[in-house]
Amino acid sequence: MRVLVVGAIQGGTAPLCGPLQKAFADAGQESDCLDFSPHSEEFLRLQFSGDEERTYRFHLDIRLELLEKIRRFEPELVFGIAQSPLHDPEILGALRKAGIKLAFWFVEDYRAFDYWKRICHLFDRFFAIQKEPFSRLGNFHYLPPACDPDSCDLPAAERDIAVSFVGAPYPNRVNFFARLNCAGFRIFGEGWSACGNPCVEVGNRRLSAREARSVYARSRINLNLHSETDPVGFGGDFVNPRTFELAGMGAFQLTNMRKHLPLHFDPADEVIALSRWEDMKAAVEYFLKHPQEAEEIAARAKARAMRDHTLRQRAEEVLNFFM
């Protein structure tokens, strides 16, 4: 099957484009990808510029680039990743008429991004990392994130960061991390500079995927506190991509308990998932003193990720619907 992967212009899912294309290829398909991430700077510049003409032109160019790629590659399946510009009903309708199958992977929290409502019905299959509210859709399938074994395979790094967090300053993270009195805690991510937390190491920009992986590999404990708009919220449903990436790298993580987590990892044996912030704080204290136990847990997570949670396995799951 000829599969075209359409990547995001910007955001956390942008680095997924190439690895996912390779995953389809590894699954025995002829695949190609259209990576829009080189346009991200222009996109962000225009977003707040108020320059309607240039913005219109930008989006027109994006569409033309998409159509040109489809014309040349002649895919049988177009697979869009969250934040990709695959949302024009007219284009999608025309592709469908031409007999091209359409799929979309919504690797987002539906509470934070609601554009799924406008596009979900335009695809043959709509994949998401949450079960609700999508279970009512006839074309929905739950597809959790996964790890890319190639980028997980880093040379062993010295664990010279005690505790780290990489990600955006959502209200729950700002609130809880302000209360983590831990020497050696370091925060990396765009927007943290304004939060007044003395542990911020890089707070004015988003770390590249490569930089983030380096921090994960160097950390004895990775805090993986899922995003939440409620400052005291600690639970939730979906399991974020970081969980799979950290596991795939064999990096030890503490995470907040998620409704879907036990479907993918054992919350006591492969990752440590907690139901309360006070327990997460206690866990930091414990694992700093017990690094060997942390390493053993991380090794089990890696084995599980490589066994059950690679992008290739997700690609195969997607292909089951179309072959």
Partner 1 sequence: MGKNILIIHFSRLGDMIQSLPAVKLLSETEPRPRITYACLEEFSRPLRHVPWIDELVSVPLATVNEILNEKGIKPEVVERWIEGMPPFRRNYDLLINWTHNQGSGYLCSRINSIRKEGRISGAGNEILVSGNWGKYLFAAVRHRTNNPINMSDIYIGMTGVKHRPASATLPTDPESDAACRERLWEMGLCESHIPIGLQLGASSMNRVWPVENFIRLGEMLSSRLNARIVLFGSEKERGLAEMFLRGANFPTIDLVGQTRINDLPPLLKCVRLLVSNDTGPMHIAAAVGTGTVGIFASTAYFSLTGPYGEGHIAVQSNYPCAPCLNSTRCDHPLCAEAITVETVWEAVCLALGEAAGGEKIRGAALYRSSFTQEGLLDYRPVSGENNSFAAWLISRRDMQSRAVHALWAPWLGLERRDAPVRTGDGGTAFVFSTLGTACVEYLEIYREAMDACRSILREFRRDRPRIEYIKSRIELLNKTEAKIIKGEAPPLLKEINEFIMAEAAVCNFPQLARELLEKYAVMANIVTRFESGC
Q: Is 262 in the site for partner 1 (CB under 8 A)?
A: yes
Residue 260 lies near partner 1 (rule: CB under 8 A): yes
Q: Check binding of 223 to partner 1 (CB under 8 A).
A: no
Q: Which one, 175 or 193, has the nearer CB to partner 1?
A: 175
Smallest distance from partner 1 to CB 3, Å? 30
Minimum CB distance to partner 1, residue 275 (Å): 4
Distance CA 282, CA 179 (A): 12
Q: Is 235 in the site for partner 1 (CB under 8 A)?
A: yes
Judged by beta carbon, residue 258 or residue 312, the one nearer partner 1 is: 258
Q: What is the DSSP string of 57-115?
A: HHHHHHHHHHHHHHHHH--SEEEEETTSS---HHHHHHHHHTT-EEEEEE-S-TTT--T
Q: Which residues fall within 8 angstroms of residue 10, CB to CB, at 6 or more apart?
A: 37, 40, 43, 44, 83
Give the nearest distance from C-beta 148 to partner 1 in angstroms.
25
x/- string (CB under 8 A) for partner 1, residues 281-310?
-xx--xx--x--x-----------------
Q: Which is nearer to partner 1, 258 or 309 (CB)?
A: 258
**Cα end-to-end distance, the chain, whole Å:** 8
Is 121 among the residues that bind partner 1 (CB under 8 A)?
no
**CB 244 to partner 1: min, Å:** 17
The only residue of 124, 279, 295, 316 in contact with partner 1, by rule CB under 8 A: 279
Residue 310, C-beta contacts closer than 8 angstroms, at least 6 positions apart: 23, 146, 147, 148, 149, 248
Q: Which span sits near partner 1 by CB under 8 A: 17-25, 100-108, 211-219, 228-236?
A: 228-236
DSSP 38: G
> What tokens appear for 14 in the block?
């942008």
Helices in 120-240 by DSSP H: which ranges? Answer: 149-152, 171-177, 209-218
Nearest to partner 1 of 57, 290 (CB atom): 290
Report how far residue 101's alpha carbon sits from residue 12's, in angstroms, rounded to the nearest whole number. 25
- Burial (CB < 10 A; 0-12, 13-18, 19+), residue 76, is middle
179 binds partner 1 (CB under 8 A): yes
Give the interface with partner 1 as residue ranges (CB under 8 A). 175, 179, 231, 233-236, 256-263, 266-268, 272-276, 279, 282-283, 286-287, 290, 293
